[in-house]
């Protein structure tokens, strides 16, 4: 039953506040390997984006959308980041409007307060990458599924189909989430409203047909995907990551307890919509874990990011189910204080440890003529280098192959250091792989640096003949 249709001044204020917050976060975002990859790929042609995405790990839609959005601004770093912020803003605005319409103003405004400060939104609004757009599209799919359930209107079926196929072309696990939406809608229609089955079959068939051009790439990407091992420790670390609040472990644990209580309330009260939200999250995680355990690791905890708006919806629903205003205020106060802690995390471009390598290459590359990445674990290092030093060639033991969007990354077999006097080399920390260094060069250790959780040594290689001539 629709409850509210008027635009509330508070709604407009919260939209403006969210817009300001996401715009500010985008100005402070850092660049890791994944972000560097996205920034490089959006600068390629549309044909290249399809080809490189097919050889990589994700479908091309995000890169197309980010390219179109940032094109008027010269594909600048801030513009690409801002696109993620716009996606989070749309989740806030559309979610607030639709939730207010169907569940009342209090719940809609509560969602609009909680989601912008939700750890996912704080993080992804500041980063280039697929997850913000994937979350928006999965959220739209869920909203259209509910609208179909309520009205069975043709326009809502079209919206469900378009949102679903766009999500599938955005991220492979967004496809899993959308499949969960379709599966749950089918089960509900089969049990309660069989008149919806015809529309469901048409929408499902049209979506499947639209996905056929990418199906072979999806199979290859899932076959080649390297996820994380599914362990109890990995699950705990993942939960802390998803519920991160300024590096505080206590808040995620308490927040998890709040979520468990909400889930218990959902189960006991048996309300359809919250159960559907829980079902989409559970099926997305369950499918990834099942494949990872039974076949091969393909699942990473960040893939649940597409379900983040549904988690925020559950939070809003659970908090608003509290009848006593004092208790409601206390729970909201706790959540807001905890979420506000993410401002600290959001405004730090990158943690100091992770940014050290970026600073090092920016300071040292002036005298170098090339980079050589000797580490077998250096795929993300070469991407950071390619982003920081686009004018220098980078040669690596392990490259991105056909999935390489960088013009300056080359395989090691193409390296010829005969005409070079100064090279910077990257190796695993604590190792001195003399055999891997180009012959005729003197190697001097500059220092050890951190990059995305791994330690690397940075070496200055100078041609011995050049040194002798200088003497």
Structure confidence by residue, pLDDT tens digits, 100-148: 998 889 899 999 988 888 777 777 777 888 999 999 999 999 999 999 9
What mean pLDDT value characterizes the chain? 80
Say whether both 166 and 55 belong to one domain: yes
| Per-residue confidence (pLDDT) for residue 15, from 0 to 100 | 94
Tell me, yes or no, whether 41 and 129 share the same domain. Answer: yes
Q: Is the pLDDT of residue 204 over 90?
A: yes
Q: Is a pLDDT exceeding 90 seen at residue 203?
A: yes
In a domain, 3, yes or no: no
By residue range, what is the domain housing residue 36?
9-347
Whether residue 48 is found in the same domain as residue 188: yes
Within this chain, do residues 315 and 378 fall inside the same structural domain, yes or no?
no
**Are both 291 and 414 inside the same structural domain?**
no
Judgement on whether residues 340 and 434 belong to the same structural domain of the protein: no
pLDDT tens digits, one per residue of 270-289: 666 777 888 888 888 888 88
Q: Is residue 338 domain-shared with residue 393, that is, in the same domain?
A: no
Are residues 343 and 358 located together in one domain of the fold? no
Classify 383 as helix, strand or coil: helix
Looking at the structure, do residues 332 and 421 belong to the same domain, yes or no? no
Is there a single domain that holds both residue 298 and residue 398? no
Looking at residue 154, what DSSP letter applies?
A: H
Q: Pick the last residue of a domain from 299, 323, 347.
A: 347
Q: In the structure, what pLDDT confidence band is assigned to residue 349 with cuts at 50, 70 and 90?
A: very low
Whether residues 451 and 324 share a domain: the answer is no
Residue at 4 is within a domain: no
Q: Which residues contact 252 (CB under 8 A, 6 or more apart)?
A: 239, 240, 242, 243, 244, 245
* Inside any domain, residue 1: no
Domain C-terminal end among 330, 347, 364: 347
pLDDT attached to residue 246: 44
Same domain for 398 and 279, yes or no, is no
Pairing of strands 422-428, 454-463: antiparallel
Question: Token pair of 187, please?
Answer: 């089960």
Q: Which of 51, 21, 40 is nearest to 401 (CA)?
A: 51
User: Is 390 inside any structural domain?
Assistant: yes
Reported confidence tier of residue 415, pLDDT bands at 50, 70, 90: confident
Per-residue confidence band for 232, with pLDDT thresholds at 50, 70 and 90: low
Cα 399 to Cα 58, 134, 408, distances in angstroms: 17, 27, 11
pLDDT in tens, 444-457: 888 888 777 778 88
Residue 336 placed within a domain:
yes
How many domains does one find in the chain?
A: 2
Q: Which of 347, 363, 382 is the last residue of a domain?
A: 347
Give rounded-to-5 percent helix, strand, coil for the chain. 70, 10, 25
């Amino acid at each position: 039953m629709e409850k509210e249709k008027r635009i509330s001044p508070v709604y407009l204020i919260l939209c403006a506040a969210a817009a300001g917050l996401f715009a500010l976060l985008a100005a402070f975002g850092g660049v890791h390997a994944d972000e560097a990859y996205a920034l490089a790929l959006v600068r390629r042609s549309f044909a290249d984006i399809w080809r490189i995405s097919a050889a990589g790990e994700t479908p091309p839609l995000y890169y197309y959308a980010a390219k179109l959005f940032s094109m008027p601004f010269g594909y600048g770093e801030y513009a690409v980041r801002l696109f993620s912020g716009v996606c989070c803003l749309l989740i806030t605005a559309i979610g607030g409007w639709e939730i207010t319409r169907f569940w009342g103003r209090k719940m809609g405004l509560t969602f609009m307060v909680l989601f912008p400060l939700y750890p996912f939104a704080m993080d992804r609004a500041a980063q280039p990458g697929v997850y913000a757009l994937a979350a928006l599209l999965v959220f739209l799919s869920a909203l259209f599924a509910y609208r179909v359930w309520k009205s069975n209107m043709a326009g809502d079926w079209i919206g469900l189909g378009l949102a679903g196929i766009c999500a599938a072309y955005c991220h492979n696990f967004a496809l899993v989430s959308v499949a969960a939406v379709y599966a749950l809608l089918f089960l509900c229609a089969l049990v309660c409203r069989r008149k919806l089955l015809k529309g469901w079959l048409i929408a499902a068939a049209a979506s499947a047909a639209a996905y056929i051009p990418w199906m072979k790439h999806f199979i290859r990407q899932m076959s080649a995907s390297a996820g994380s091992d599914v362990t109890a420790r990995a699950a705990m670390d993942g939960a802390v990551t998803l519920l991160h609040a300024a590096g505080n472990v206590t808040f995620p644990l308490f927040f998890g307890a709040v979520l468990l209580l909400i889930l218990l309330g959902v189960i006991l009260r048996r309300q359809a919509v919250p159960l559907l939200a829980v079902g989409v999250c559970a099926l997305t995680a369950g499918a990834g874990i099942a494949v990872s355990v039974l076949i091969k690791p393909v699942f990473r905890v960040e893939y649940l990011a597409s379900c983040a708006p549904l988690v925020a919806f559950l939070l809003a629903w659970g908090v608003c189910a509290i009848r006593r205003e004092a208790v409601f205020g206390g729970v909201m106060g706790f959540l807001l204080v905890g979420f506000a802690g993410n401002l600290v995390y959001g405004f730090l471009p990158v943690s100091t440890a992770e940014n050290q390598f970026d600073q090092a290459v920016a300071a040292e590359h002036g005298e170098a003529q090339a980079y050589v990445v000797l580490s077998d674990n250096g795929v993300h290092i070469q991407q950071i280098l390619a982003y920081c030093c686009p004018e220098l060639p980078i040669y690596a033991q392990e490259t991105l192959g056909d999935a390489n969007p960088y013009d300056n990354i080359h395989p090691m077999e193409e390296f010829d250091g005969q005409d070079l006097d100064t090279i910077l080399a990257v190796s695993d920390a604590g190792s001195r792989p003399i055999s891997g260094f180009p012959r005729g060069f003197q190697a001097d250790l500059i220092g050890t640096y951190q990059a995305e959780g791994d330690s690397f040594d940075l070496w200055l290689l100078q041609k011995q003949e050049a040194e002798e001539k200088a003497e």
